[in-house]
Amino acid sequence: MSYEAIRVEQEGALTVVTIARSKAYNALNTVAHEELAAAFDAFEADQSQWAAIITGEGEKAFCAGHDLKQQAEGGGIVLPPSGFGGLTSRFNMIKPVIAAVNGVAMGGGFEIVLACDIVIAARNAQFALPEPRVGLAALAGGMQRLTLQIGPKQAMGMMLTGRKVSAEEGIALGFVNEVAPTGEALVVAKRWAAEILACAPLSIRATKHVALQTMNVPLDQSISSVWSDPVVKAMMESQDAIEGSAAFSERRTPRWTGK
């Protein structure tokens, strides 16, 4: 599929999605939303692809949020069913997604980041939910996810002021996994992806699925129900489960098939 507002590249089992609207600080218009939704639909359906990275073009911006120029011209906000950037309402995807934040991540751009599983931020990255400053609110999951990820007091401190947070503060608050040198967020994200791809893909999916599905479930219930979960059963009955044990006993690198 050819794209206008994004680029999609496959590197082995890794899909790299790049928002390619650097002249607009990678803000998302309707076309970009539709293309990102299509790209992540394809990633989710492709059994040869085990992990994804989303990043922005250039070194200034990951994503500045919704294209306010389009809205000012009467374009409004039309989101795909899978949410802002095709990610914020994609609740059932069990493949891991890494955000390589190469610059500012504002509003909806930050909401995309919060919807990812791992966040690598360049040193020059900045994060904010500044919607109240333009008469709006972070309605694509930002208010809920930020509160869950860093706690209510710190989240309120960001959301009620719309203030910008640096990559280093993101580490301290807990929504950033690693700070990379400026210009190297994608390089570091690929290193993290390589570590994920060294694991059995069905194990990775089961881990993400169980962690997210049981977040608000009492501990005794979540532990007792995990064995009957279809995603966990698929992992336990897979060829990879046998291969992992065999590779360990034979002291060799496992050859994962995702089956």
Q: Rounded to whole angstroms, how far apart are CA atoms 126 and 170?
A: 9
Please name the residues in contact with 202: beta carbons below 8 A apart, sequence gap of 6 or more.
234, 235, 238, 240, 241, 258
pLDDT for residue 71 is more than 70: no
- Give the length of the chain: 259
Domain borders along the chain are 6-197, 201-249
Residue range 117-168, pLDDT digits in tens: 999 999 999 999 999 998 889 999 999 999 999 999 999 999 999 999 999 9
pLDDT for residue 75 is more than 80: no
CB 176 within 8 A of CB 141: no
CATH superfamily membership of 6-197: 2-enoyl-CoA Hydratase; Chain A, domain 1 (3.90.226.10)
Give the residue numbers annotated as catalytic, written as ranges: 111, 131
Quick one: pLDDT at residue 176? 98
- The residue ranking higher by pLDDT, 216 or 160, is 160
Least confident of 37-46, 66-75, 82-91, 219-228: 66-75
Residue range 164-210, pLDDT digits in tens: 999 999 999 999 999 999 999 999 999 999 999 999 999 999 999 99
Please report where in the chains the tokens 């034979």 appear, as a residue: 250
